[in-house]
Structure formats: structure tokens, C-alpha cells
Amino acid sequence: MPPKTIEDKVIARIYGKSRGYVFTPKDFLHLGNHESVRQALARLTAKGTIRRLMRGIYDYPAFSAFLNAPASPDPDGIAQAIARANGWTIHPTGATALNLLGLSTQVPAQWTYLTDGPTKNYKWQGGTLKFRHRTSKEAANLSRETELVVQSLKALGKERVNDSVIRQIKLRLTPKERDRALKEARYAASWVYEVIKRIATEDGLQNA
């Protein structure tokens, strides 16, 4: 059996991910140098195996039975791929956080993230990704789930957080994620933390 090429190794890794996976050449640099990986991705794009979304960003497209065509790329997946490539930590904020947490069905025209990297915008065919630099104080070491909850609550505002919202958030988190949020969010705004305390208790669900 002939030795595997870089293209063979790259596509094997891609097939090991689920449809909709978004990636950059840097995700495969453990398989070869940048130029060989770039050429492998170019060949796979030409074959239609993967899709080029923007410069240096690709996906293994999901398929839409409704459209009978490849599905639209995952904006959050694109944001995560960009963050990995640059070594940034990012957290969804505003309408983006609400959408990802399932508290809003409205698809944002701009997907917005807080980051410890620079403020920067990326345009793709489905809209705009906005990365906003935040101070070190704001960049607390929170898990993605905790920060998603914190940012969603802040986007809603105290007056709009009711029992129904608490129930929805509670059902989106595992018991482990609820416990972690309670521990991690203690330095959030006091009203946000009080809501998270309700989310993390059984009473918060029973009263919803």
C-alpha cells in the first residue's frame, strides 16, 4: 500500500468531523507544512469535497434536504475557526449570544464576539463577523457556556428576564454546566448572578 499523501491525511481528519465543520490550514499543520496543506485544501475545494468560505476559511458543508443543496455555512463555526487560527479567546455577545442559546430565533445580520484579540471585522456571503476587543477585567476566564449565559442575560436586560427565560436557559444547560456557571459567574453583575443562582437550582425550574 502506497504511503498516505497529505491530502489523504487531511481528508481523513475532515471526514472524522461532522458535516458543517469549519476549519483553516492551521488546523492541519501537524500533518505537513503550510504550503502542502494549502495545496491539499485547494485540490479538495476543486473536487467539491470542501467549500472555500473566505480567504483561508473552509468548511465540510452540511446538506439541506429542504433546499436539496449544500446548507449555509455556520457563522459561529467560522468565528471559532478564525479564533483558533489566531489564538484568540472569543465569547458571543448581544443578539449572537441570544441566538446561540436559543432565546431568539432571529438570525443576526452581524455575529458579534468579545475577544482578547484585536477589534476586527470579517465579511462573508452570509453577513459580517465582528470581533470586539475587551479589557482584561472583562476577559474573565469563563467557560463558553457560562459566558454565553452571562452575555445573553445582559443582552436581554434585567427587566426582560422572567421565569420563562430562566426555564429556557436551564433546559439548555447540563447539571454540570449549571454548577460551573454558578461558580464562575460570581463576579458578574449582581443581578446577573442572582438569575444564574436560580438557573442552577431545582426551584428555579419548578417555579418557571
What is the chain's pLDDT, residue by residue, as a tens digit (208 residues)?
Answer: 566 899 999 999 999 999 999 999 999 999 999 999 999 999 999 999 999 999 999 999 998 888 788 899 999 999 999 999 999 999 999 999 999 999 998 888 899 999 999 999 999 888 899 999 986 555 567 888 999 999 999 999 999 999 999 999 999 999 999 999 999 998 889 999 999 999 998 654 544 4
In this prediction, residue 124 carries a pLDDT of 86
Residue (of 178, 176, 172) closest to 195 by Cα position: 178
CA torsion, points 166, 167, 172, 177, in degrees to nearest 10? Answer: 60
Radius of gyration of the chain (CA): 20
Question: Would you list the domain boundaries of the chain?
Answer: 6-70, 75-133, 144-206
Please report, as a single letter, which amino acid is at residue 47.
Answer: K
Indicate the pTM of the whole model.
Answer: 0.86
Q: What are phi and psi of 53, to 5 degrees?
A: -95, -40
For the chain, give the number of residues. 208
Q: What are the C-alpha distances in Å from 125 to residues 35, 74, 143?
A: 26, 11, 30
Q: Which helix (H) or strand (E) holds 123?
A: strand 120-124
CA torsion, points 79, 80, 86, 91, in degrees to nearest 10? Answer: 80
In this prediction, residue 61 carries a pLDDT of 94
Would you state the cell numbers that stand for residue 35, as one nine-digit string?
504550503
Beta strand 22-23 with 69-70 is unpaired
Please report, as a single letter, which amino acid is at residue 80.
Answer: Q
Classified by CATH at the fold level, domain 6-70 comes out as Arc Repressor Mutant, subunit A (1.10.10)
In this prediction, residue 30 carries a pLDDT of 94
